[in-house]
Structure 1
Amino acid sequence: MSRYKALAERFGTPLYVYDLDEIDAARRQLLDALPEEFTLFYALKANPHPGLVRALREGEGRPCRPEISSTGELESALAAGFDGADCLYTGPGKTAGELDEAIRRGVRLFSTDSVSDVRHVAAAALAHGVSADCLLRVNSATASATSSIRMTGTPSQFGFDSETLADVLPELRTVDGVRVAGMHFFPLSNAKDEDSLVGEFRHTIELAARLQRELDLPLRLLDIGGGFAVPYAVPGSRGSYPGLRGELADALDTHFPRWRTDGPEVACESGRYLVGASGTLVASVSNVKVSRGRRFVILDAGINTFGGMSGLGRLLPVAVGPETGECVESATLVGPLCTPGDILGREIDVPALAPGDLVTIPNAGAYGPTASLLMFLGRPAPVEVVVRGDTVLSVSRIEHGRSYAPVDEPSARTVTGAAE
């Protein structure tokens, strides 16, 4: 009996299995690809499960610091053993309530996207009698590499436009309660190859040096972003970057000759690369039907379980691995929801499946339950099992209420929560 079949019999399906050995390997691989002086942030939006976040804090090698974008992710980071001071809080829509909670719980480093965003951070800091550090996220006017998901070079809610930064910097220098501590870039996601990644990082480092020089911009921390690739829901291996360490060191030596001794501290960030390959989604076949010559395999896992932003039409199709047998036919893989949008893959190769069979979807450790339509139709969330080898370390399920509850004033309290 395979590990997945045994776990499915114990805990039911749909079921996520996260292997911490795979997370350890990903962290080692990425740290080996970066200069040893680099700080590495883990973007909790990829998977905020405290067991995975804790694994990235513990174990061999340097811990990954949390990069968070909500008080929910802050809660996960704290539950994993981090302090608020370890976190970098990002996002263009930080509310007054969120900032108040973040400051109260020790967060002191924020990535900011506009003058008003900086002022909001400052107001929260002053209300608690403290000072906060702000990175200015920069939306470069140009880009080097191409990618499936571009994050710079166009009008965006993210970041200060690089060409207008000089105009707003005098105002930013006068805001009480915050200090401008550096710059944050995130130009691309899931780079198609090492050359694309290197080209974008070199462009970012050159632009950061020019802005610092021309604007006399404080630069204690330079976060150059990420873009490290791993397959999503299809077989394959993490990206390999054998030349990246040398390329980064060369670019920094050129533009910041004393970066190793005098700063700036340089950081990268990653989400999917660190956790993506750790996860496998196990689902059961509920039914198989043929409609006008097309075969449909209906699973107990759909976009409520594994949405992964599939509604945006850019992450389909998935690939399935059978517990037994070879792929012998083409079918459309659908979930259990009563909507025609509940499709995981159109006309993909599958084995000869029947009700009760198991299928596995690999590389599903990132953008799983929390990136899905989890509450749609009120179906139970999938069980999430954290393992190390053959040892089960934790079993949990995100619970959401089946009825509406009154909220406490003055602020709303969530009716959802995660149990570990």
Structure 2
Amino acid sequence: MTAHTPLLEKLAAEYGTPLYVYDLERVDAARRDLFGALPDGFEVFYAFKANPHVELVRALRTGEGPACKAEISSAGELAAALEAGYPGTDILYTGPGKTRDELAGAMAGGVRLFSAESLSDLTHIGAAARAHGVRAEALLRINSATAGAGTSIRMTGKPTQFGIDSETVAGIAAQLREVPGVSVAGLHLFSQSNARDEQSLIAELLHSIDVAAAMQEDLGVRLRILDIGGGFAAPYAQAGGRDRYPGLRVALEEKLDAAFPGWRQGEPRLAVESGRYLVGDSGTLLAGVSNVKVSRGRKFVILDAGINTFGGMSGLGRLLPVSVAVDTDGDGRAVEKASLVGPLCTPGDILGREVEVPEAAEGDVLTIPNAGAYGPTASLLMFLGRPAPTEAVVRGDEVVHVSRIEHIRTPV
């Protein structure tokens, strides 16, 4: 057994594996750290795509200190936000493919702030608002032609379904301003994910502020809200801690003082968004060893958790390639190199090739750290029909909630 704390051992014994354990105390700490790194008055939108578990997103809204708002992009995420107690006024609805039904549901749920990815998307938002008898506000997502720094995952500067190409804004500004049912309230810039270091993060966020100042002139609209994106980094299924940003606050304050002198009075309101930074280190994945075998001199540790449980979406490029690490200290066993593979009947079910693991035997439980983001709902959850992993939410040593997603085919 390598689940090194009594609580993890107890939960694995009681609920079996694969098992996710999320600690709300870690969520609280991440929220404090992120707000503490930002200038006073900044809003933080939590990206539900990282982990939409209702108990986690509720914890980001409640408790001591500033509350996170919700950034969602589907009807399912909207349902989770409303269940967790987010009012519609604290929700930003994003995404390039908002359907008529989704927009209608969002309006009915009280959402009034949307990220518009194109003129036609803005038109759809306006039409849905008018059909609901309300007026919506939109942040125009901008696909900047330039970048401030190299990052692990670039989101702009190329042809993409995301955002309005920055060089076209001036030419369509009048059309953007005149869409019935919706007001252009500001801009949404999101150019990177998981910045490689503080310097890269700061360079990109400062560049986003420069782009926003230029876009304000091109649009002929005074910005009331400016979302400069994110990129706050945290390890993914590897040992280590979240990045720290001691220089971020001052750098943002100096740039904003020059570009938007009224920002300290809320003109415009400033926001960032974050997913993995807020929940990544809250999660631990416990995976049971089903079998151990050697093939042509290489050892394979076969787990009950595979790409249906963790990281199955990494092949799409949204996540880093999966190469998990397991905790190797605490039980005194020797460490060896082995490939960690899952239970699925496909050669692609690999969590790590030739990674360090404690000498494992059938029935052992391995512990994968920093698994709180992009877990079950970012995996091939229904592939081959295996049960979803159990998810336990704790606060320190107290068990708050235990559940499992069920696959149910429903007649329509």
1:386 correspondence with 2:393: yes
Q: 2:163 aligns with which of 152, 156, 159?
A: 159
Out of 279, 288, 292, the position equivalent to 1:288 is 292
In structure 1, C-alpha distance between the alignment counterparts of 2:187 and 2:371, rounded to whole Å: 32
Could you tell me whether the CA contact under 8 Å between 1:180 and 1:218 is conserved in 2?
A: no
| Contact persistence 1:278–1:365 (CA under 8 A) | yes
The question of whether the paired residues in 1 share the 8 Å contact of 2:311 and 2:322 is answered with: no
1:353 is matched with: 360
2:106 aligns with 102
SS of residue in 2 equivalent to 1:183: strand
Match of 2:180 in 1: 176
Matched length: 405
Counterpart residue number, 1:368: 375
Percent of aligned positions that are identical:
65
Out of 58, 63, 69, the residue aligned to residue 67 of structure 2 is 63
Contact 2:169/2:218 (8 A) holds in 1: no
CA distance in 1 between counterparts of 2:249 and 2:26 reads 22
Alignment partner of 1:4 is 2:8 = yes
Contact in 2 for aligned 1:135/1:182 (Cα 8 Å)? yes
2:333·2:358 contact (CA, 8 Å) conserved in 1? Answer: yes
- Report the CA distance between 1:377 and its aligned residue: 1.0
CA contact (8 A) 1:303 1:310 kept: no
Give the TM-score normalised by the residue count of structure 2. Answer: 0.96
Does structure 1 conserve the Cα–Cα contact (< 8 Å) formed by 2:280 and 2:373? yes
Matches within 5 A, 1:96-175: 96-175=100-179
Distance in 1 (alpha carbons) for counterparts of 2:275 and 2:36: 17
The residue identity in structure 2 corresponding to 1:125 is A
Residue number in structure 1 paired with 2:244 = 240
Letter in 1 for 2:410: A
Confirm or deny: 8 A CA contact 1:308 1:367 kept in the other structure. Answer: no
Contact 2:17 2:286 in 1 (8 A): yes
The secondary structure found in structure 2 opposite 1:395 is strand
Match of 2:18 in 1: 14
Please state how far the C-alpha of 1:97 moved relative to its aligned partner. 0.8
Q: How far off its partner does 1:86 sit?
A: 1.2
The aligned residue for residue 332 of structure 1 is 339
The equivalent position to 1:33 in structure 2, one of 28, 31, 37, is 37
2:17 is matched by which residue type in structure 1? T
Q: One-letter code of the match for 1:265?
A: R
**Relative to 1, partners in 2 of residues 1:222 and 1:134: Cα closer, same or farther, differing over 3 Å?**
same
Q: CA deviation at 1:152?
A: 1.1
**Corresponding residue for 1:317?**
323
Q: Tell me the residue number matched to 2:311.
A: 307
Paired AA for residue 23 in structure 1:
V
Q: TM-score, normalised by structure 1?
A: 0.94
One-letter code of the match for 1:40?
V
Deviations 1:332-389 (A, max 9, x none): 1000000111000011111110000010100000000000000111111111100001
When the two chains are superposed, the root-mean-square deviation of aligned CA atoms in Å is 1.2
Letter in 1 for 2:324: V
Aligned residue number for residue 259 of structure 1: 263
How many angstroms apart in 2 are the aligned matches of 1:42 and 1:231? 17
Q: CA deviation at 1:312?
A: 3.8
Question: Could you say if the C-alpha distance between residues 326 and 168 of structure 1 is closer, same or farther in structure 2, counting changes exceeding 3 Å?
Answer: farther
Q: Aligned with 2:324: secondary structure?
A: coil
Aligned in 2, Cα 1:298/1:209: closer, same or farther, shift over 3 Å? same
Asked if structure 2 preserves the Cα contact closer than 8 Å seen for 1:332 and 1:348, the reply is yes
Structure 1, 308-317 or 274-283: larger mean CA deviation? 308-317
User: Given that residues 327 and 349 in structure 1 are in contact (C-alpha distance below 8 angstroms), is that contact kept between their aligned partners in structure 2?
Assistant: no
2:292 aligned partner, one-letter code: V
Cα distance 1:237–1:51, how it changes in 2: closer, same or farther (>3 A)? same
1:416 aligned partner: none
1:174-213 alpha-carbon deviations (Å, 9 max, x no partner): 2111000000000100000111011111111111112212
Inter-partner Cα distance in structure 1 for 2:335 and 2:307: 25
Residues 389-404 of structure 1 mapped to structure 2, 5 A cutoff = 389-401=396-408, 404=409
Structure 1's unaligned 5+ residue stretches are 408-420
Deviation (angstroms), 1:326: 4.5
Q: Distance in 1 between matches of 2:266 and 2:381?
A: 47
Over 3 Å counting, the alpha-carbon distance change for 1:20 and 1:176 in structure 2 is same
Deviations 1:28-60 (A, max 9, x none): 001000001101110000000000000001111
**Residue pairs, 1:59-98, within 5 angstroms:** 59-98=63-102
CA distance in 1, matches of 2:25, 2:49: 21
> Which whole-Å deviations, capped at 9, do the CAs of 1:306-349 have from their partners, x for residues lacking one?
02523347322110114633452111100000011100001111
- 8 Å CA contact 1:288–1:355 kept in 2: the answer is yes
Q: Counterparts of 2:122 and 2:350 in 1: how far apart (Å)?
A: 41
**Runs of 4+ in structure 1 over 3 Å off:** none
| Equivalent AA in structure 1 for residue 132 of structure 2 | H
Counterpart AA for 2:271: A
The alignment partner of 2:394 has SS state of: strand
Give the distance between the partners of 1:327 and 1:359, measured in 2 at CA.
14
- Distance in 1, matches of 2:171 and 2:136, equals 22
Q: 1:166 to 1:396 in 2, by over 3 A?
A: same
- Mapped pair 1:406 → 2:411: yes
